[in-house]
Amino acid sequence: MSAHADPHCIFCKIVAGQIPSRKVYEDDELFAFHDIHPWAPVHFLMVPKLHVASMAHVGPEHEALLGRIMALAPKLALEQGCQPYPDGGFRIVVNTGAQGGQEVHHLHVHVMGGPRPWARG
Ligand code: AMP
Ligand code: ZN
């Protein structure tokens, strides 16, 4: 586990390979994996390898990292089976804090898509 990880964080453990996941993508800064309880036919999570607790913790120093996640999401969405815009498309969600519905406190971007109906949402 890297020096920038939180040893108690489930997503840091996934990034480090200490908890198994179904990997979608990995590079030096980012990791993406399928959500274990999918809401939609396609549902994966994109996380920075760096432990950032939530969107509420994001500052100017994270601009490039967040930009990379957002710029990569459409490509991964298509690769994972989302259908093309405009008839297909996808939904991007970042739950933040208790009232925002955040359960795992390592910043993650949900990418959901595929034919409806969805299990939720
Ligand atoms: P959130 O409510 O935005 O914090 O969402 C956390 C998401 O992480 C939920 O959709 C969970 O299904 C998902 N999740 C939790 N543990 C795992 C895991 N071990 N592997 C994959 N997804 C997970
Ligand atoms: Zn973490």
Q: Is 108 noted as a catalytic residue in this protein?
A: yes
State the average pLDDT over residues 40-62.
98
- Find the length of the chain: 121
Specify the pLDDT at position 1.
79
- Domain borders along the chain are 10-118
CA of 36 to the centre of ligand 1 (A): 6
pLDDT in tens, 20-42: 999 999 999 999 999 999 999 99
The answer to whether the pTM exceeds 0.95 is: yes
Pick the atom of ligand 1 nearest to 34's CA: 21
Q: In terms of Cα–Cα distance, which of 48, 43, 51 is closest to 22?
A: 43
- DSSP for 26-85 reads E-SSEEEEE-SS-SSSEEEEEEESS----GGG--GGGHHHHHHHHHHHHHHHHHTTPPPT
Closest ligand to C-alpha of residue 100 is 1
Percent of the chain scoring above 70 in pLDDT: 100
Closest ligand to C-alpha of residue 32 is 1
Looking at 3.30.428.10, 3.40.50.1860, 3.20.20.70, 3.30.479.10, the CATH number of the domain 10-118 comes to: 3.30.428.10
Percent of the chain scoring above 90 in pLDDT: 95
Residue 64 vs residues 31, 58, 61: alpha-carbon distances, Å = 15, 11, 8
Confidence of residue 2 (pLDDT cuts 50, 70, 90): confident
**CA distance linking residue 85 with residue 34, whole number of Å:** 21
Pick the atom of ligand 1 nearest to 101's CA: 2
Specify the pLDDT at position 93.
98
Q: In terms of Cα–Cα distance, which of 6, 65, 73, 64 is closest to 44?
A: 73
Specify the pLDDT at position 76.
98
Q: Is the CB of 20 under 6 A from ligand 1?
A: no
Specify the pLDDT at position 4.
85
**CA distance linking residue 37 with residue 29, whole number of Å:** 24
